[in-house]
Structure formats: structure tokens, C-alpha cells
Amino acid sequence: MTTPKPRLVLTLGDPAGIGSELVARLLAEEEACQAADILILGDEAELKTGMEIAGVRFDYQVVSSAALPEQGSGVPAFLQVGKAPEGGWKRAEVSAEGGAHCLETLGMGVDMVRAGKADALVFAPLNKASLHSAGMSQSDELHWFADRLGHNGSVSELNVMDGLWTSRVTSHIALRDVADLITEDKIIEAARLIHSALKDAGFESPRIGVCGLNPHNGDNGNFGTEEIEIITPAVERAKALGLPVEGPYPSDTIFLKAVAKELDAIVTLYHDQGQIAIKLLGFWQGVTVQGGLPIPITTPAHGTAFDIRGKGTANVGPMRNAWNIACAMGTRRRTSRISN
């Protein structure tokens, strides 16, 4: 049976940032265009601006409705969504207009994937301040997606760098609160969530390591007892549930195992435990997967980069990686739908 080509929706991100340049650079690569049937959502003038900044061009077909192009054409479709405010989009600054435009395109993309009209969504970088200025009440886009989808289950940002995936037990909280919020159930849920995402991305037998919390894994309780009382029992329970987890490993050495390709994913216990390592290993490769949602959504792990907007120097690497992950997850989703 021939593997079906996935159908992807792609949005241009915040018009104040580098999103349109990244999309232009991505789709100027023939391999990216041939990997999926593509519908771009956004402002056509902004797409053309991105091409000018990047110094590249690619062919696309303007359509009048939210429909994917003819299967296998290799030519993306483009749907105009909204329009620029009078005087044009603000550049390199926060704006409610830019945030509202992002929410409109993202909402349309989410609805298409949920309805089965597409298999995955990829979005260029957003600006949270602009989204909040536009009225987004959720803390971030991940929770906005969950509400849009009516999803009440656990969600978490998953960070990916050069094939290494990380999840978090806690995220945007004060460091002093971390230990009190770590529980066996939360560790197991973080492991379950990343295991599911890895399977969706094509890992047949993923290997997942769990971080310890304290220096030297607590040194048998001398530097803290969380490893003994919470983390190790959670790992054992997760194993009993069939999850391929191991650990806990000291957080100052676990990433060496990942670099040696002994692990595919790491469950971290707090935000910077994983983020510092991931960004040191390859900031300009990173991808964020919106974990736990019922549909695949990916984006580059960096922001809108106002400081380089319009300079033509944006690095397409993370955007390309986000695209490739979405293609893999979208292919699996499409194959599953066809077989069922």
C-alpha cells in the first residue's frame, strides 16, 4: 500500500515578525512542497512581502474556499483570510490587530484538521502579548487550542531538538513551588503524553528517561527525598502500565544519554531543567509540538524575532523541522483514518 501524502494547513504567524519570511524560505524548497498537499492561510500581501525579504519565490494557487489543492500537485493553495488594517500591519511591535489575525487563521486551521479536511497544522511564530491584546484569555496558545477543540485532557508543550523530545511535569511556575507540585500521577501523565506523541511521529519503540529533581538524584536522601518517595515509584508504576520509561537519572547527566542516542525522550520536572539543555544543544533547530491535543500542531520553538524582522536573515531550520514533524504526524493520522 502506498503511503498517503498528508494534507497540511500552514499559517503565516504574526505579521509583525519573521513568519512570512520563514514560510517563503520553507516553501521555496521543492522537498517541502512535495512532502504534503498544502493550504496556506493568511494575507497574500504579507506572503509576498515574506518572499521579497527572503529573496525567494514559489508558485501557489489562490483559492476562494478552505480546500486543499489537488492531491499530489506540489503547488500550495493560498486562501486570503482577513485583511491588513488601514495603514498596513505594524512591524516589529506588539499589536492587537496582528494578534487577532493570528487567532483567526489558527482557528480556521484547527477547525479544518478537526473536521478531517486536513491532517495537521503548522504555524509560524506568534507573539503572546499580541494574542492577549487581541482578547485571548488563556495563558498561551496551547490552552487556547485545547479550548477551541473542547479538549479537557492533559496538555503540555513538547520540545524537540534533533530527534530528542522533552516533556515537563511542571512548566510556567516559580522554581520554589516545583517540589510541592511534583506527584506520581503528574510524572506518569507526562510520560504517557510524550509516549503518545512519539508514536504519532513514527517512533516504533521509543525510549523515555525521567529526570531526578535534586543534585545527584538526592544522594540516597541526603539532598532531598523526592527521588525515593515520588519519582522512583512513579517510574515503576509507569513501567507497570506498559510505558517504556527508565530512571530517574540525575539531571546533570541524563542529557548525555540523549546525546549518545540512548534515549529518544526525557521527562523533565520543571521548565528550565529541559529548556537550558535543549537550547544549548541546538537553539536553531528546536520545535514545539502542542502535546496532548487530539490533532497534530507544530511550530518553531523560537518567537517572532522582532529584532531581525525585515533583514532577510531568519533561519528556516526550526520551521523546516516543525514541518517535517507535522508531515510525519499527519501521515500517520491520515493513514489511520483511511485504514479505518
Do 170 and 140 lie in one domain? The reply is: no
Report the candidate in 105, 146, 147 with the shortest Cα–Cα distance to residue 124. Answer: 105
- Same domain membership, residue 72 and residue 16: yes
Per-residue pLDDT of the chain in tens (340 residues, 90 and over written 9): 577 899 999 999 999 999 999 999 999 999 999 999 999 999 999 999 999 999 999 999 999 987 777 677 789 999 999 989 999 999 999 999 999 999 999 999 999 999 999 999 999 999 999 999 999 999 999 999 999 999 999 999 999 998 999 999 999 899 999 999 999 999 999 999 999 999 999 999 999 999 999 999 999 999 999 999 999 999 999 999 999 999 999 999 999 999 999 999 999 999 999 999 998 988 789 999 999 999 999 999 999 999 999 999 999 999 999 999 999 999 999 998 887 7
Q: Report the pLDDT value the prediction gives residue 336, as an integer from 0 to 100.
A: 86
169 and 264, same structural domain? yes
* Whether 232 and 302 share a structural domain: no
Are residue 96 and residue 6 in the same domain, yes or no? yes
CATH number reported for the structural domain that contains residue 321 in this entry: 3.40.718.10
Do 259 and 282 have their domain in common? yes
Q: How far is CA 93 from CA 123, 130, 140, 282, 339, in A?
A: 19, 9, 18, 27, 47
Residues 159 and 274 in one domain: yes
Residue 182 shares a structural domain with residue 92: no
Are both 29 and 139 inside the same structural domain? yes
Backbone angles phi, psi at 335, to 5 degrees: -60, -40
Shortest CA distance to 215 belongs to which of 165, 170, 251? 251
pLDDT of residue 73: 78
C-alpha distances in Å from residue 48, one per residue of 12, 32, 88, 339: 11, 18, 14, 39
2 and 94 co-located in one domain: yes
Euclidean distance between CA atoms 166 and 177, whole angstroms: 21
Q: What is the pLDDT of residue 1?
A: 56
Give the Cα separation of 107 and 235 in Å (integer): 37
Q: What is the DSSP string of 174-232?
A: -GGGHHHH--HHHHHHHHHHHHHHHHHTT-SS--EEEE-SSGGGGTTTTT-SHIIIIIH
Domain that holds residue 271: 154-291
**Residue found by looking up cell 498596513 in the block:** 88
Backbone angles phi, psi at 80, to 5 degrees: -70, 125
Contact of 29 with 66, CB cutoff 8 Å: no
Q: Domain end: 275, 291, 307, which one?
A: 291
Predicted pLDDT at 57: 97
The pLDDT score that the predictor gives to residue 14 is 98
17 & 81 share domain: yes
* 206 and 269 within one domain: yes
* Coil/strand/helix, residue 246: strand
Q: State the Cα torsion 164-302-96-104 to the nearest 10°.
A: -40
Q: What's this model's pTM, rounded to 2 decimal places?
A: 0.94
Q: What CA–CA distance (Å, rounded) separates 3 from 336? A: 11
Considering its fold, how many domains does the chain have in total? 2
pLDDT at 160: 96
